[in-house]
Chain A
Amino acid sequence: MPMAIRELYHTINKPTEAAPLAAFRVLFGLLIAVSMIRFVAYGWVEKLYLTPTFHFTYLGLSWVKPLGPWTYILFILCFISALGLAIGYRYKLSAISLFLSFTYIEAMDKTTYLNHYYFISIVALLLCFLPANADFSVDANQSRVQRQYVPVWTIFSVKMFVGIVYFYAGLAKLNTDWLLEAQPLAIWLSTKTDIPIIGHLFEYTWLHYFFSWGGALYDLSIPFLLINKHTRNVAFLLVIAFHIMTRILFPIGMFPWIMIAAATVFFPSDTLKNILTKTFKFLRPNTSIHNASRLYFSKILVGVIIISQILLPWRYLVYPGELFWHEQGFRFSWRVMVMEKQGYTTFRVVDKNNGENWTVKNEDFLTTFQEKQMAFQPDFILEYAHHLAHYYKINHNRDIAVYADSYVSLNGRSTKPFVDPTIDLTTRSRNLKPIDWLLPFNDNIHGI
């Protein structure tokens, strides 16, 4: 092995204090637990999972469906797992159960897809392989874990992942709409004039550009500012300011708090250890073992997760056409708040046997939220078209062709026809191949 690689290998395996992992574990677990309570208390389980009669599924995961009233059990399971994770009780079991229950919930209906839910799933997955219970945990306190130090790479992998999320969110903003037109922020900010103190500023175009450029610069630089000890304190203040700003401006729920919490993993272990010692002293292990287990298996899996996170956002390059238009490769890529898209899509069905035709009332099949999300996302449109064909076959024994009448407005552009209205969508199947039934965007958004 060359010297440099050996050295690197040695460095990433060096035992270190587990405090950053422990602090991350505690904050993350508590915030997820709060999120679950919030979700149920807002009645969203009912509204998003139980009321709809049809659910939009992920390709390959169409078997993941809400479980009727049992869906609440999923949320309870997720809540308990999150608490278990926070206190580090039966840590591995808690982490796995959190990952599975949370991911199952998210996969039940992709209408609710949010990047920050995906973030939570990936963090939970990472935690399944990280020894975040090595310190300040019930497990450690009850001597279920034997070593209180962890290899350096375990903490670094979390920093790496948080860094990827920010950096890729920044890359996604490097396009002409964002930088040269200040879109979609111009649309979102222009009407926010009622925000106290600074609201009137949102009338000004320069502010839209200031926020656009500032946001891109923030996302691209914050991982490096956080990792550099000289800039870390300022960076953390920026993290707080940035996320509180987004909280004021946009309805983004728990996301700001989760990202602020995540940024704490960049703090030096001494700082975190001191804080944890003051607050969670009762969870300190009685004995102290200053070496770390090697975790070969975990190391490989975590490496695979991180590498896939680096690669996955680039998959859109495989697809021809404008990403914001066709959205193939848009999700799971940290393209956070980079576009404003509104659609209007209705379906004309034709009975293949007698030629009878009519337009479908979307409200008979979809909730308002589902219809809104369906209207501009091609994979939703196709899945729904298939559902309609299935529905009329089963309930009315009709063989129907389904044509979409679809219009989309993207980032303030004039509304344009979206789906080719001459194509019977039942002749297209759901797969990862490039879509051939959309009309061209006929405009250019240059950038990454």
Chain B
Amino acid sequence: MTNKPVLLSDYWTGALLLGALLFTSSCETNEGNTDTWNRSVMLSHWADEIILPSWNEFNIKSTEAAHAADTFASKLDSTAFEILRSKYQSAYSSWQKVSLFEIGPGEQRNIRLRCNTYPTDTAVVKGSAESFMVNSPPNLLLPSTFIQQGFPALDYLLFAKGSIKKQLEYYNFHPEVVGYIQLLFSNIAALGSDVYNDWTSGYKATFIEADGSSATASVNKMANDFIFHYEKELRAGKVGIPAGIWSPSILPQNLESVYNPEFSKELFQISFNAHVNFFNGKSFDGLGEGPSFSGYLDHLAAMEDDMLLSDAVNQQFNESQSALNTITESFKTTVENDVFTMLALYDELQRNTIRIKTNVMQILNVKIDYVDADGD
């Protein structure tokens, strides 16, 4: 019986604690929170100002390239061929701006693998092109065909012979090849328009609605995609692999745009800019900025030593740009004759890989999306 008052007071304490917590929580709600980071605003900005305009441009450029291929097929002259090469380059340049945004419709279609798997398998490309028949085209949806399609296969088919004259002679001798070129261009254009249409007709809403913090939410996925693309496509694919980081010797034949080697550096620059701009929330038209990873890091007061973590990332981006600027020759020539200059660029890119994969991902509390095991 003597226990009773004690018990009661314990319940009181518990109730009081819970009550206090609920009370403070409701108080805060009433005050409103202007400084809450709004993920859905950030996602809207990404979708409206960066991702959709990028896909829109790619849709236009890839369609133009496909038309140029059709025109060339009917004319087979050097003027049409020059136009085709230039439209191909515009489309490939535009590709560098969307490659980072494979999330959703692009991923569903394996668009990155279909558009830009390199090195291309020249023997397979040559075989398929020279024996191409309109009535029985290869099934380019199959993963085994990723090494014989997309821009890298076109790079081979449009540039491997060298001069325009030699290219035209080749097509003259193997008219089937032109049909294959048309097929590859039309596939890229179809992918571009499908992905763009999916974004405009519903995926954009899905993307913005997934504004949570879980592994499947858009911010988490974009963070994963961003670092994945930076690490694997930009740093490794365009620079590290050809420079021989993962092999005992250099691999210049693994460069992007290896048959048109003057173009590799430009493609790198466009892709690099896409990463920097996305990190900082810069609009596609270059006119404005909006909420971004950089802003989110600042909001979370993330520091690296005495400087803002976002500034540290951007400073390192600048270092990478400087390293790129010291490369005066084409990537191919640089890898072959002066690999240390190429490795210097790799090292600068690598510094941000480390920073982003450790400190930035930690502060953004990003889960690695395919790891969904428990924690404790």
Hey, which bits of chain A sit against chain B, CB under 8 A? 42, 44, 47-48, 112, 114-117, 187-188, 190-194, 197-198, 200-201, 203-204, 230-231, 233-234, 237-238, 241, 250-255, 336-337, 340, 342-344, 351, 356-361, 368-369, 372, 407-409, 412, 414-415
Residues on the A chain within 8 Å of B355, using CB: 415
Residues on the A chain within 8 Å of B362, using CB: 187, 340, 342, 409, 412
Which of the candidate stretches B8-16, B106-114, B200-208 sits at the interface with the other chain? B8-16
User: Are A344 and B354 in contact, with the CB atoms below 8 A?
Assistant: yes
A39–B362 CA distance with the chains assembled, in angstroms: 27
Residues on the B chain within 8 Å of A112, using CB: 373
Indicate which residue in A251, A342, A351 contacts B372 across the interface (CB closer than 8 Å).
Answer: A251
Residues on the B chain within 8 Å of A116, using CB: 376
Closest A residue to B220 by CB, please name it: A191
A252–B373 CA distance with the chains assembled, in angstroms: 9
A372–B300 CA distance with the chains assembled, in angstroms: 24
A220–B246 CA distance with the chains assembled, in angstroms: 50
Residues on the B chain within 8 Å of A343, using CB: 358
A112–B372 CA distance with the chains assembled, in angstroms: 11
Query: Which one of A340, A342, A343, A408 has the greatest number of beta carbons of chain B within 10 Å?
Result: A342
Closest B residue to A241 by CB, please name it: B18
CB distance from B311 to the nearest CB of A (A): 13
Closest A residue to B212 by CB, please name it: A194
A419–B358 CA distance with the chains assembled, in angstroms: 15
Find residues 20-43 in chain B having any chain A CB closer than 8 Å to their own CB.
25, 28-29, 33, 35-37, 39
Is B247 in the interface zone, CB < 8 Å from A? yes
A357–B249 CA distance with the chains assembled, in angstroms: 8
Residues on the A chain within 8 Å of B370, using CB: 368-369
Is B1 in the interface zone, CB < 8 Å from A? no
Residues on the B chain within 8 Å of A197, using CB: 25
Indicate which residue in A190, A200, A238, A253 contacts B14 across the interface (CB closer than 8 Å).
Answer: A238
User: Are A114 and B374 in contact, with the CB atoms below 8 A?
Assistant: yes
User: Are B376 and A200 in contact, with the CB atoms below 8 A?
Assistant: no
User: Are A342 and B374 in contact, with the CB atoms below 8 A?
Assistant: no
A279–B311 CA distance with the chains assembled, in angstroms: 63
Task: Identify whether the interface residues of B are mostly helix, strand, loop, or mixed.
Answer: loop
Is B169 in the interface zone, CB < 8 Å from A? no
Residues on the B chain within 8 Å of A361, using CB: 246
A194–B42 CA distance with the chains assembled, in angstroms: 14
CB distance from A103 to the nearest CB of B (A): 17
Contacts A340-B362, A409-B359; is A191 near B374 (CB within 8 Å)?
no
Is B375 in the interface zone, CB < 8 Å from A? yes
Closest B residue to A356 by CB, please name it: B248
A48–B370 CA distance with the chains assembled, in angstroms: 12
Residues on the B chain within 8 Å of A253, using CB: 374
Residues on the A chain within 8 Å of B304, using CB: 414-415
Is B64 in the interface zone, CB < 8 Å from A? no
Query: Which one of B304, B370, B374 has the greatest number of beta carbons of chain A within 10 Å?
Result: B374
Indicate which residue in A115, A203, A233, A414 contacts B376 across the interface (CB closer than 8 Å).
Answer: A115
Is B363 in the interface zone, CB < 8 Å from A? yes
13 A-B residue pairs with Cβ-Cβ distance under 8 Å, sorted by A, are: A112-B373, A116-B376, A187-B363, A194-B217, A233-B7, A251-B374, A254-B374, A342-B359, A357-B248, A361-B246, A369-B368, A369-B370, A415-B355
Contacts A191-B213, A231-B10; is A200 near B29 (CB within 8 Å)?
yes
A48–B304 CA distance with the chains assembled, in angstroms: 34
A412–B361 CA distance with the chains assembled, in angstroms: 10
Is B123 in the interface zone, CB < 8 Å from A? no
User: Are B374 and A408 in contact, with the CB atoms below 8 A?
Assistant: no
Closest A residue to B369 by CB, please name it: A368
User: Are B353 and A191 in contact, with the CB atoms below 8 A?
Assistant: no
Residues on the B chain within 8 Å of A44, using CB: 373
B interface residue count range (under 10 / 10 to 19 / 20 to 34 / 35 or more): 35 or more
Find residues 344-366 in chain B having any chain A CB closer than 8 Å to their own CB.
353-355, 357-359, 361-365
Residues on the B chain within 8 Å of A47, using CB: 373
CB distance from A89 to the nearest CB of B (A): 29
Residues on the A chain within 8 Å of B244, using CB: 358
Is B3 in the interface zone, CB < 8 Å from A? yes
Is B142 in the interface zone, CB < 8 Å from A? no
Residues on the B chain within 8 Å of A409, using CB: 358-359, 362
A230–B2 CA distance with the chains assembled, in angstroms: 11
Is B285 in the interface zone, CB < 8 Å from A? no
Closest A residue to B248 by CB, please name it: A356
User: Are B365 and A188 in contact, with the CB atoms below 8 A?
Assistant: yes
User: Are A200 and B28 in contact, with the CB atoms below 8 A?
Assistant: yes
Contacts A230-B3, A252-B376; is A360 near B36 (CB within 8 Å)?
no
A306–B88 CA distance with the chains assembled, in angstroms: 72
CB distance from A247 to the nearest CB of B (A): 11
Contacts A230-B7, A234-B11, A361-B246; is A191 near B368 (CB within 8 Å)?
no
User: What are the 5 A-B residue pairs with the smallest beta carbon separation, nearest first?
Assistant: A253-B374, A409-B358, A114-B376, A356-B248, A194-B212
User: Apart from A192-B213, A203-B37, A251-B374, what 6 extra A-B contacts exist at CB < 8 Å?
Assistant: A114-B375, A114-B376, A194-B217, A231-B10, A356-B248, A357-B248
CB distance from B30 to the nearest CB of A (A): 11
Is B211 in the interface zone, CB < 8 Å from A? yes
Find residues 208-235 in chain B having any chain A CB closer than 8 Å to their own CB.
211-213, 217
User: Are A193 and B213 in contact, with the CB atoms below 8 A?
Assistant: yes
Residues on the A chain within 8 Å of B103, using CB: none
Residues on the B chain within 8 Å of A115, using CB: 376
Closest B residue to A416 by CB, please name it: B358
Indicate which residue in B25, B305, B371 contacts A201 across the interface (CB closer than 8 Å).
Answer: B25
User: Are B358 and A201 in contact, with the CB atoms below 8 A?
Assistant: no
Is B160 in the interface zone, CB < 8 Å from A? no
Is B133 in the interface zone, CB < 8 Å from A? no
A222–B39 CA distance with the chains assembled, in angstroms: 37
Indicate which residue in A360, A369, A412 contacts B246 across the interface (CB closer than 8 Å).
Answer: A360
CB distance from A408 to the nearest CB of B (A): 7
Residues on the A chain within 8 Å of B247, using CB: 358
CB distance from A209 to the nearest CB of B (A): 13
User: Are B14 and A234 in contact, with the CB atoms below 8 A?
Assistant: yes
A255–B33 CA distance with the chains assembled, in angstroms: 33
A336–B375 CA distance with the chains assembled, in angstroms: 10
Residues on the A chain within 8 Å of B371, using CB: 368-369, 372
Query: Which one of A47, A253, A415 has the greatest number of beta carbons of chain B within 10 Å?
Result: A415
User: Are B300 and A414 in contact, with the CB atoms below 8 A?
Assistant: no
Is B134 in the interface zone, CB < 8 Å from A? no
User: Are B375 and A408 in contact, with the CB atoms below 8 A?
Assistant: no
Closest A residue to B33 by CB, please name it: A200
A351–B29 CA distance with the chains assembled, in angstroms: 63
A237–B7 CA distance with the chains assembled, in angstroms: 14
User: Are A190 and B365 in contact, with the CB atoms below 8 A?
Assistant: yes
Is B6 in the interface zone, CB < 8 Å from A? yes
Residues on the A chain within 8 Å of B363, using CB: 187, 412
Closest B residue to A411 by CB, please name it: B362
Is B141 in the interface zone, CB < 8 Å from A? no
User: Are A198 and B25 in contact, with the CB atoms below 8 A?
Assistant: yes
Residues on the A chain within 8 Å of B124, using CB: none
Residues on the A chain within 8 Å of B213, using CB: 191-194
Residues on the A chain within 8 Å of B357, using CB: 342, 344
User: Are A187 and B374 in contact, with the CB atoms below 8 A?
Assistant: no
Residues on the B chain within 8 Å of A357, using CB: 248
